[in-house]
Structure 1
């Protein structure tokens, strides 16, 4: 058996089986960050993620600055999902020898801009060549903190909690589609020219190439306390797949209301141009980096009001957590429910 047959999540389970923590308070594999008890009032958050040329970005569809911004943003999103404050980043670069110094300068400009935006210090890293390979690889380790007792975990949801999402997921997947599956309109490198609203086109493309981590939104959720906000994670692999992770960790089922999924006008415009069901992108697209979270039934108004007032980010209730025996269900507008099949991105099977 090779690793593509095993798949990403089964491989993670295989590699991490039997790993132990130093403290019973530590949270290891299975959440967006490791949560480490170093003593004191704050817990240490640790995460790492990589961006690989040809897999996560191309120089034809992303500017060097956007590549750098996204590389850090996806790590910042993990800290956001825990309700934490990002603090220190270490950047490892794996570089082909032909790479232009100007491209690398642009990538680092993006990294510095994103770090400054979220008050994060770049404190070190490493540079290595990639031999005969031709791909740029950017690997980042990010450290942050969260107040003891206030870390948002995937495991706290219970039946009766309300499932919510920030922003408008699906737009990143739509943006990617405009790069890799252009319309029948002739293309002009480097970007396919589509016969659709150029503002919508630019918007969804930038949602893919330069996502925004919901750091402040996550901190607000954390500060509201575990009696109000019960579980959270970010949407990196697609809403349906990440929802499955939340259900598994919380040992719950879910009834997802299709009619409540937030559908922004740019996504609607792109879906119409491509004759696609926008809900497919919302449910099964990836790299949105919105927050998917649960809250107590009587807490939604307080949660919605706090986030909207302090950030302007919309929060939408999209479902209800149910007993685990009911599994993952999706409710259609005509009133019938059916099984919701998760379709996560798997790095080893694509």
Structure 2
């Protein structure tokens, strides 16, 4: 069957034709597909800005483990790019997709990837308008997302203020727990298996909640947690020139995964350091917390206060045993990892017993009690 043809056998024109045949030209795409560049009728109001993001992804864990077909690869790549648009307060409008393909990639694989990408774009209210295909020894997908954002409601990493609450959406750690369960062949009940498999397959940002939070103008600052919670906290604090206090006991884990968390040997902070659950971290002024919780409840979503922003540049975490330590900046690093994140996940497991420098407890307990 032609879906088993490799891209080398089919040739680039056939590959491009297969991709464009899956796409329906959206109304904002003037003159359709097939030109040197896409002509997009995107009109901005005086108070709007363009917001753009480009991300590269590879074959994700769900595909590698055989939990889903190539559609999940395209879904992941587009979701990856869209995530930063949404947490910045933007409305996604268009996406471009470049595929870097080994010559033995099949047309069926390419179709699946692009179908997943197109479905993901539509889920976020965007359209794929252009792209490229190139030969490469290793598969990669490069997605560029473009959106619009109100100048007044844009959400930057900078802007956090002393006294702001640090708020996490959703739950963390489920994706890494799933990978650990697969790697170690840990026994899982049916419900736990469904939860972790979904976390591995559906690595998607909290789109609806993120848009609602941005439209309400709630946060002072925000970032996604794709590279892990410690890295996200450091990113906001570094950009905002502030510090933070974080309570590990407040880091949200899925309530139905307690046994798997115990079996993993990892703490909530270490599980949250892996990223992959694709949630958001916000710095929220205390007077907006009630409104935030009401917005989340209306969407049956979860938001959790895990700490607060401080004037001091120190970033400290209170661990489960009550001891205070400096929060290490453990995060996904594409230059240190193997390209698919497994190097990062291995480092998280290896760091199970490591902590940052011990800090004087009375001082930080006093700071915490002052803010909560």
Q: TM-score range by the shorter chain?
A: 0.7 to 0.9
Q: Measure the CA separation in 1 of the matches of 2:179 and 2:252.
A: 19
For the residue of structure 1 that corresponds to 2:153, the secondary structure is coil
Correspondence 1:1-350 to 2 at 5 A: 40-53=46-59, 58=64, 60=66, 62-130=68-136, 133=137, 135-179=138-182, 181-183=183-185, 194-225=186-217, 228-282=218-272, 284-309=273-298, 311-325=299-313, 327-333=314-320, 335-350=322-337
Q: Measure the CA separation in 1 of the matches of 2:65 and 2:248.
A: 36
Question: Any conservation in 2 of the 1:196–1:269 contact (CA below 8 Å)?
Answer: no
Q: Measure the CA separation in 2 of the matches of 1:71 and 1:178.
A: 24
Q: Measure the CA separation in 1 of the matches of 2:181 and 2:84.
A: 27
What displacement does 1:269 show?
Answer: 3.3
What displacement does 1:53 show?
Answer: 3.3
What does the per-residue CA deviation read over 1:301-324, in whole Å, with 9 as the maximum and x for residues that have no partner?
111111221x22111111011113
What displacement does 1:242 show?
Answer: 1.3
Higher radius of gyration, 1 or 2:
2
**Structure 2 spans left out of the alignment, 5+ residues:** 1-43, 338-372
Aligned length: 294
Q: Measure the CA separation in 1 of the matches of 2:323 and 2:126.
A: 47
Give the structure 2 partner of residue 7 of structure 1: none
What does the per-residue CA deviation read over 1:244-293, in whole Å, with 9 as the maximum and x for residues that have no partner?
011000111000011111121344232233343344102x1112210100
Could you tell which deviates more after superposition, 111-120 or 265-274? 265-274
Question: Any conservation in 1 of the 2:93–2:125 contact (CA below 8 Å)?
Answer: yes
Higher RCO structure, 1 or 2 (CA under 8 Å, sep 6+):
1
Could you tell which deviates more after superposition, 328-337 or 54-63? 54-63
Q: Measure the CA separation in 1 of the matches of 2:131 and 2:52.
A: 15
Q: Measure the CA separation in 2 of the matches of 1:177 and 1:206.
A: 14
CA, structure 1 residues 266+138, in 2 after alignment: closer, same or farther (shift >3 Å)? farther
What displacement does 1:145 show?
Answer: 0.7
Q: Measure the CA separation in 2 of the matches of 1:257 and 1:317.
A: 9
What displacement does 1:41 show?
Answer: 2.2
Q: Measure the CA separation in 2 of the matches of 1:258 and 1:103.
A: 42
Could you tell which deviates more after superposition, 233-242 or 213-222? 213-222
Normalized per residue, which structure has more helix?
Answer: 2
TM-score scaled to structure 2, two decimals?
0.74
Q: Measure the CA separation in 1 of the matches of 2:110 and 2:65.
A: 11
Q: Measure the CA separation in 2 of the matches of 1:346 and 1:57.
A: 21
Q: Measure the CA separation in 1 of the matches of 2:156 and 2:266.
A: 34
Q: Measure the CA separation in 2 of the matches of 1:81 and 1:176.
A: 26
Question: Any conservation in 1 of the 2:61–2:200 contact (CA below 8 Å)?
Answer: no
What displacement does 1:91 show?
Answer: 0.5
**Structure 1 spans left out of the alignment, 5+ residues:** 1-37, 184-193
What displacement does 1:230 show?
Answer: 0.5
Question: Any conservation in 2 of the 1:267–1:278 contact (CA below 8 Å)?
Answer: no
What displacement does 1:62 show?
Answer: 4.2
Q: Measure the CA separation in 2 of the matches of 1:55 and 1:147.
A: 35
